[in-house]
Amino acid sequence: MLICAHIGFGLGAVYTVMAALSMSGNPLFTGFTGFTPTLTTDAVVAVCSLLPDVVDKLLWIFRVTKGSRTYGHTLIFVGGMSALGSLLGPQTAGLVGLAVLSHLVADRTCGHVPFLWPLQPFRLKSMTHTPATHRAIRACEVLGVLFVMVSTGLPARLGPILCTTSLVGCLALSLTLHRYYPFKAFSAAYVKKALMGEVDWRVSDSASEQSFNQRRRRLDSPPPSAR
């Protein structure tokens, strides 16, 4: 989950599109006329730009699905969230739908996204992590922080100190999660071991991924009696 990169890309993309729609003069977009970013719209876009990963990674962690880009990474999910947002008006529907869609578009640059599910299948592994991809992830996160600070107006609305502190916290969380790859295999027992200091956090990314894949295959394979 690229927290800062998705928030930065979401804010930039959503506000650009919303501004274009509000100035288009097209009768179809009269509900967007006069749109002005506020702290509330910032929060809506930030949360919704992360929503696909929140939904799908929770489903994956609890073994409801076998991939981390499934139901939350589909156009059906975009439409459903936009429909919920429409209960609060057309501008909210546009914000929510565009924010969720921005996540899918950003993810498509680095792997498979099942936009057209059920016509398009899920993939068990949507992308392969290597040392190069981890470096790219770190670079994207830093660029996301810089973009939010310089180009979105969020520091002025939230306050520069609080904005900087929040973004640095998100950056630290994101980089920590990507450094310790086993977070994708979290379970209640695993979390307990981690809190008790029984997990070797110094394990390498490649070893972490190999261990994770072995564990998933073991958990997903049917018991001997069912074969």
Phi, psi at 134, each rounded to 5°: -65, -40
* pLDDT score of 182: 44
Q: Token pair for residue 120?
A: 């398009």
Tell me how far the alpha carbon of residue 113 is from its chain's centroid: 12
pTM of the model: 0.74
- The pLDDT tens digits of the residues spanning 117-142 come to 888 878 766 565 666 767 777 888 88
* pLDDT score of 205: 42
Average confidence (pLDDT) over 37-49: 89
Lowest-confidence range among 63-67, 68-72, 99-103?
63-67
Give the confidence band of 208 by pLDDT, cuts at 50, 70, 90. very low
Average confidence (pLDDT) over 66-93: 89
Average confidence (pLDDT) over 146-152: 86
Average confidence (pLDDT) over 145-172: 86
* pLDDT score of 3: 85
* pLDDT score of 187: 47
Checking 127-135 for CB contacts under 8 A at 24+ apart, the result is 129/181, 129/205, 129/209, 131/205, 134/178, 134/179, 134/205
- DSSP assigned state of 121: -
Average confidence (pLDDT) over 173-187: 59
| Sole residue written with tokens 């956090």 | 201
Give the confidence band of 68 by pLDDT, cuts at 50, 70, 90. confident
Alpha carbons 39 and 92: distance in angstroms, whole number: 13
Per-residue pLDDT at 202 exceeds 50: no
Q: Are 60 and 9 in contact (CB under 8 A)?
A: no
Per-residue pLDDT at 209 exceeds 70: no
* Residue 91 host element (H or E): helix 90-108
Q: Are 144 and 6 in contact (CB under 8 A)?
A: yes
